[in-house]
């Protein structure tokens, strides 16, 4: 084979190789990078869902005092804690009343507070009746159990001897036409005391929500 034939064949082979390279570059997407697989995220790493879903449920939350957790209704104004009051809530007066209704929550420690019956009697003693009757005889009392915790309720209408700065009330101004509802829950760390007071109509507007709250309390 002479030199001219060898050169011609070499040129043919080089040309064929160039054509193949160009074809492969066109089919392979040139400089495009191959798509990398996305890493799998677990629940802790996943970003939060910022879009509202109609099936979402709000976080229940709640207040926990001495191992007792309860959820106050949304229409009560939450004033947080203050001194001996571990929690305090207010409701604006209903039409015809001049003062807010209030629920104050107390806790005095595992062995403090004087016991369930002593506090129920103390609350009863803060009400005087216009006809001079014995408030203990007129008071309505009941019990309940929530999440294994005994609960005690006392309620009474009359003239209320307001707190005068004392944690559990008494010793202050006397306010006629009031209602008092006291609840004691015997919690895992000691008794928790819930005290509702206010003008009668406003207090009654809070009462059902109070009882729902305490009867739904959990450890």
pLDDT for 43: 25
The DSSP code sequence of 116-127 is HHHHHHHHHTTE
pLDDT for 66: 95
Contact in structure between 76 and 153 (CB atoms under 8 Å): no
pLDDT tens per residue across span 71-90: 999 999 999 999 889 999 99
The structural architecture, per CATH, of the domain 63-215 is: 3-Layer(aba) Sandwich (3.40)
DSSP state of 35: P
**Dist. CA 124–CA 140, nearest whole Å:** 10
**Dist. CA 206–CA 212, nearest whole Å:** 10
Give the number of other CB atoms < 10 A from CB of residue 206: 26
**Dist. CA 79–CA 89, nearest whole Å:** 6
Residues 6+ apart with CB under 8 A from 114: 122
pLDDT for 54: 29
- Confidence check: pLDDT of 18 > 80: no
């Amino acid at each position: 084979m002479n030199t001219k034939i060898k050169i011609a064949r070499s040129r043919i082979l080089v040309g064929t190789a160039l054509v193949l390279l160009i074809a492969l570059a066109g089919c392979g997407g040139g400089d495009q990078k191959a798509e990398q697989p996305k890493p799998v995220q677990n629940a802790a790493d996943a970003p939060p869902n910022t879009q509202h879903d109609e099936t979402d449920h709000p976080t229940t939350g709640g207040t926990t005092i001495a191992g007792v957790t309860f959820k106050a209704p949304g229409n009560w104004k939450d004033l947080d804690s203050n001194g001996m009051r571990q929690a305090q809530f207010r409701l604006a007066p209903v039409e015809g009343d001049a003062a807010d209704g209030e629920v104050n929550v107390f806790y005095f420690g595992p062995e403090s507070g004087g016991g369930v019956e002593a506090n129920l009697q103390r609350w009863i003693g803060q009400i005087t009746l216009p006809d001079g009757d014995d408030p203990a005889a007129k008071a309505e009392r009941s019990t309940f159990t929530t999440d294994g915790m005994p609960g005690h309720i006392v309620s009474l209408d009359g003239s209320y001897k307001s707190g005068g700065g004392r944690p559990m009330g008494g010793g202050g101004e006397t306010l006629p036409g009031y209602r008092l509802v006291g609840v004691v829950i015997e919690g895992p760390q000691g008794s928790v005391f819930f005290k509702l007071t206010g003008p009668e109509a406003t207090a009654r507007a809070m009462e059902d929500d109070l009882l729902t709250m305490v009867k739904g309390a959990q450890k």
